[in-house]
Amino acid sequence: MIIQSVQVAILDLPTIRPHQLAMHTITEQAVVVARVRDTEGREGWSEIATIGGASYGESTPEAIKANIDTYITPHVIGQDPIRFGKIMHDISIHVRGNLHAKALVESAIVDLAARQRNIPAYELFGGKIHDGLPVAWTLASGDTGKDIEEAKEYLHQKRHNIFKLKIGKGDPMKNVEHVLEIQKAVGDRARLTVDVNQAWDEDTANQCIPILQDGGISMIEQPLPGWNHEGMARLADRYRVPILADEGATSIQEIFHIAKHRAGNSIALKIGKTGGLTAVKQAAGIAEAAGLGLYGGTMIESDLGTAMTVQLYSTMPPMKFGTELFGPLLFKDSITTNRVEFRDFNVIVPDGPGFGVEVDHEKVEHYSREKGVLA
Ligand SMILES: [Mg+2]
């Protein structure tokens, strides 16, 4: 039952509408998927998303694939998947950084190990605490009236009661007005958060945050550049509205640094940026010990990547700010034959073997940039 092959492909998945961030607008999302196969032909699958090529983060889809194919795969072939801790330890000795690549490989191995035992992958991480996780939606039409209509509709459907607005692009004060109008319209039926995606300097943050705070906005995500831990610490100290570190909070070492210097008082977790399922549980432990609030972040994963993430987060104590694992709802199509479910303001934890979703091989091939890799 040892691992016989590792294959990686880049897929371009179209979204139902443009999804605007400060540095990039997603209309087609590049996700990287990995498949590991054992000697009996069983398969483990995983997905890691990145945003906007090299514009959001250092790991590009092309680099993830190249570095796995060249440097990581040789340490995986011939290994027993249930010893994913040893495999990842061996990789850590030979491959520096490359956190997204490591996350993709570890996740596929975990899916395979769980499928070999016919159990959900969350059983390998202590078992699930929750059956569902609160899930936010991003309002991104850019039109205040349309966003209010959308928020009201999803409240009515009991799909979301936490809404996030990406406000890193355009005039900061106009964006603040837009957010406050929406908050006024939904009142106390919904919580609103904002994500600046590193776009402000400290002066702009000091102009905008007090207004957002007085308007009842419940969290401000990464207002300053990821490197500016000192500035984030000053904002976290100055305002009572929670300041959340996302792009600044990547590896477990960086998350420890943020915790120590209070460079933000809450952390967005993501499997890719932190280097894998095991690393994210370690990150959550650091945050918990430091009294930081947690948020289940997304890089806009499809059903496969979302199922992975939801399963892992189901094994952790409740997150103060819930999650934003709405990825599958933003795609026109799915690469799995069963979908991740959303109901009663929650994303539901899949319970099948592995990550609980079954890959549709034809769809994977259809959306693959290079044909035949995972055929
Ligand atoms: Mg963010």
Contact 112, 3 (CB under 8 A): yes
pLDDT tens-digit readout, 22-65: 778 888 999 999 999 999 999 999 999 998 888 888 889 999 99
CA of 294 to the centre of ligand 1 (A): 13
Model confidence, pTM? 0.95
pLDDT tens-digit readout, 325-353: 999 999 999 999 999 999 999 999 999 99
pLDDT tens-digit readout, 266-283: 999 999 999 999 999 999
CA of 109 to the centre of ligand 1 (A): 27
Q: Around Cβ 90, how many Cβ atoms within 10 Å?
A: 15
- Angle CA 181–52–45, to nearest 5: 110
Q: Pick the closest to residue 172 from 50, 22, 52 (CA basis).
A: 22
Q: Which CATH class is domain 3-119+358-367?
A: alpha beta
Query: What Å distances lie between residue 261 and 24, 229, 255, 319, CA to CA?
Result: 30, 8, 10, 21
Domains of the chain, by residue range, sit at: 3-119+358-367, 125-348
CA of 248 to the centre of ligand 1 (A): 10
pLDDT tens-digit readout, 188-240: 999 999 999 999 999 999 999 999 999 999 999 999 999 999 999 999 999 99
Fold held by 125-348? TIM Barrel (3.20.20)
Determine which one of 102, 128, 164, 166 is catalytic: 166
Q: Around Cβ 127, how many Cβ atoms within 10 Å?
A: 11
- Local structure of residue 122 (DSSP, 8 states): G
Round to whole Å and give the CA distance between 105 and 109.
6
Annotated active-site residue 128? The verdict is no
Q: Taking residues 367-372, report their average pLDDT.
A: 92
